[in-house]
Amino acid sequence: MAEKTDVVIIGAGAAGMMCAIEAGKRGRRVAVLDHAKAPGEKIRISGGGRCNFTNIHAGPKNFLSTNPHFSKSALARYTPRDFLALVEKHGIAWHEKTLGQLFCDHSAKDIIKMLLSEMRDVHADLRLETAIESVERHGAGFRVMTGEGPIDAQSLVVASGGKSIPKMGATGLAYRIAEQFGLGLIETRPGLVPLTLDPAQLEAIGELAGVAADAEARSGKTAFREAVLITHRGLSGPAILQISSYWREGQEIVLRLMPDIDIAAILKEIRRTHGKQAVQTALGDILPRRLAQFFADGAKLTGRQLADLSDKAINQLATSIQAWTIKPAGSEGYRTAEVTLGGVDTNGLDSKTMQAKAVPGLYFVGECVDVTGWLGGYNFQWAWASGFAAGQDA
Ligand code: FDA
């Protein structure tokens, strides 16, 4: 005999727990199944352990999707202020770090405790270390075969996340279920991920590993202004993670270091007032020292005085720094990617409820859907908002 419940949610991550809370508030009997030992593992490690739980400015423009309008409805119905009200109701201290990014003052575990407490209040049944063997249509509902036996439910919510960080239990189950029920998939790829360089490029910039600088990173028409970090494998830092979601293999990225200043104009002014200054010394007042040396060497100007440089030579030097063009070899892949781009095609989903249009009772929420946020709390906001939307309907 199969056990019976109203709603089965696969995945006790951000989206699944939010959905459980909301469906439970409507009086639905909810079972949340997860193969992991603990719920919300990605919440626990997020934001350096402090969870960047939302972004106060989050709106549809901060998300990548084949259908940029799809996220509008869910984001409008559950806003960053709504999540903040929940955080405050639980007395969790928070702060804005930068650019609207809200973090816990103490620990990401406070967010997990908050969600678990809300789930307990509505008697949502959390079952960890539960393997999902198969999912099938059963009458008007669904039968989920688990390692502990079958469960029948009227509604099935798939909240099992994307492919990022397989070490933490990411499986791609959501995509298999979507395919099984005839939903389309948008090709998946790693997002918010460091970019790698080939061995020759690494040898050229190897000595810069560990250097960080303020920059604008551009790929095509999209640019992000934040820090860039040079590593032993290639490029990282927030500006690179952001642009990685837009970058495609074979494309170049252009870095404008120190985007607020006109390096050519400054060097010309120093040439006028302190013409005897060496190029690398002058650059050292503008850029981190190792970068200054790198660009002076690259232009074969180390040891030369500024007074010896023509306008053309100064302009070329400045361009090498403020239009630094790099062709990454690849990315670090799902091993370190914070998110998975692509996923369940939104064409097959109702944007108000996240229900599959052709399969009544089947819902997809969170990262498995083809809606991916920028770095900075947007991905959790999508998880809360899409989980909330399904929780009103499932
Ligand atoms: P999520 O991946 O959270 O949950 C899916 C759940 O399903 C997991 O509990 C998993 O165990 C379970 N599951 C998977 N396959 C299963 C199977 N076959 N059977 C049973 N259960 C299964 N975002 C943000 O906004 N702010 C931030 O600070 C960060 N920081 C951050 C750091 C790092 C290191 C990473 C990797 C990611 C972030 N993110 C982030 C992104 C954020 O973590 C992500 O967008 C959300 O966790 C997605 O929530 P979901 O609930 O959709 O999936």
Average pLDDT rounded to a whole number, residues 364-369: 98
Among protein residues, the one with the nearest Cα to ligand 1's atom 14 is 160
Instruction: Provide the token pair at 123.
Output: 């008697």
For residue 375, what is the DSSP state?
A: T
* Cβ–Cβ under 8 Å, residues 319 and 347: no
Q: What does the pLDDT read at residue 198?
A: 96
Predicted ipTM beyond 0.95: yes
Q: Which pLDDT tens digit goes with each residue over 115-141? A: 999 999 999 999 999 999 999 999 999
The CATH number of whichever domain residue 280 belongs to comes to 2.40.30.10
The answer, yes or no, to whether any atom of ligand 1 lies below 6 A from the CB of 45, is yes
Among protein residues, the one with the nearest Cα to ligand 1's atom 36 is 338
pLDDT at 169 over 90: no
Where a domain ends, among 280, 315, 331?
Answer: 331
Q: Mutation test of ligand 1: which of 84, 101, 160, 344 has the most ligand atoms closer than 8 Å to its C-beta?
A: 160
Q: Which pLDDT tens digit goes with each residue over 35-74? A: 999 999 999 999 999 999 999 999 999 999 999 999 999 9
CA of 13 to the centre of ligand 1 (A): 6
Q: What does the pLDDT read at residue 334?
A: 97
Cα torsion for 57, 332, 12, 49, to the nearest 10°? -60
- C-alpha to C-alpha distance for 83 and 111, rounded to whole angstroms: 11
pLDDT at 206 over 90: no
- Closest by CA to 304, choosing from 314, 312, 289, is 314
Domains held by the chain: number: 2
* pTM of the predicted protein model: 0.97
Angle subtended at Cα 299 by Cα 267 and Cα 201, rounded to the nearest 5 degrees: 125
- The answer on 221 and 174 residing in a single domain is no
Ligand 1 atom closest to 34 (CA):
21
Q: What does the pLDDT read at residue 84?
A: 98
The answer, yes or no, to whether any atom of ligand 1 lies below 6 A from the CB of 14, is yes
Among protein residues, the one with the nearest Cα to ligand 1's atom 13 is 160
Ligand 1 atom closest to 130 (CA):
20
The crossing angle, in degrees rounded to 10, of helices 14-25 and 378-391 is 30
Q: Which pLDDT tens digit goes with each residue over 284-330? A: 999 999 999 999 999 999 999 999 999 999 999 999 999 999 999 99
- The answer on 81 and 184 residing in a single domain is yes
- The answer on 206 and 317 residing in a single domain is yes
Q: What does the pLDDT read at residue 194?
A: 98
The crossing angle, in degrees rounded to 10, of helices 263-273 and 311-322 is 140
- The answer on 368 and 316 residing in a single domain is no
- The answer on 14 and 91 residing in a single domain is yes
The CATH number of whichever domain residue 373 belongs to comes to 3.50.50.60
The answer, yes or no, to whether any atom of ligand 1 lies below 6 A from the CB of 32, is no
Among protein residues, the one with the nearest Cα to ligand 1's atom 52 is 366
Among protein residues, the one with the nearest Cα to ligand 1's atom 6 is 11
Average pLDDT score, the chain: 97
- C-alpha to C-alpha distance for 325 and 218, rounded to whole angstroms: 10
- The answer on 159 and 11 residing in a single domain is yes
The answer, yes or no, to whether any atom of ligand 1 lies below 6 A from the CB of 372, is no
- The answer on 110 and 10 residing in a single domain is yes
pLDDT at 374 over 90: yes
- The answer on 211 and 172 residing in a single domain is no
- The answer on 62 and 9 residing in a single domain is yes
For residue 300, what is the DSSP state?
A: T
- The answer on 326 and 178 residing in a single domain is no
- The answer on 323 and 221 residing in a single domain is yes
Average pLDDT rounded to a whole number, residues 91-113: 97
CA 379 from chain centre, in angstroms, equals 6
- CB atoms under 10 Å from CB of 298, counted, come to 15
The domain in which residue 57 lies consists of: 3-189+339-391
Q: What does the pLDDT read at residue 1?
A: 84
The answer, yes or no, to whether any atom of ligand 1 lies below 6 A from the CB of 171, is yes
- The pLDDT > 70 percentage for the chain reads 100
Q: What does the pLDDT read at residue 106?
A: 98
Residue 56 region by backbone torsions, left for phi larger than 0, else alpha for psi between -120 and 50, else beta: alpha
Backbone φ and ψ for 3, nearest 5 degrees, come out as -70, 150
Q: Which pLDDT tens digit goes with each residue over 222-275? A: 999 999 999 999 999 999 999 999 999 999 999 999 999 999 999 999 999 999
- The answer on 134 and 88 residing in a single domain is yes
- Residue 163: pLDDT band by 50, 70, 90 thresholds? very high
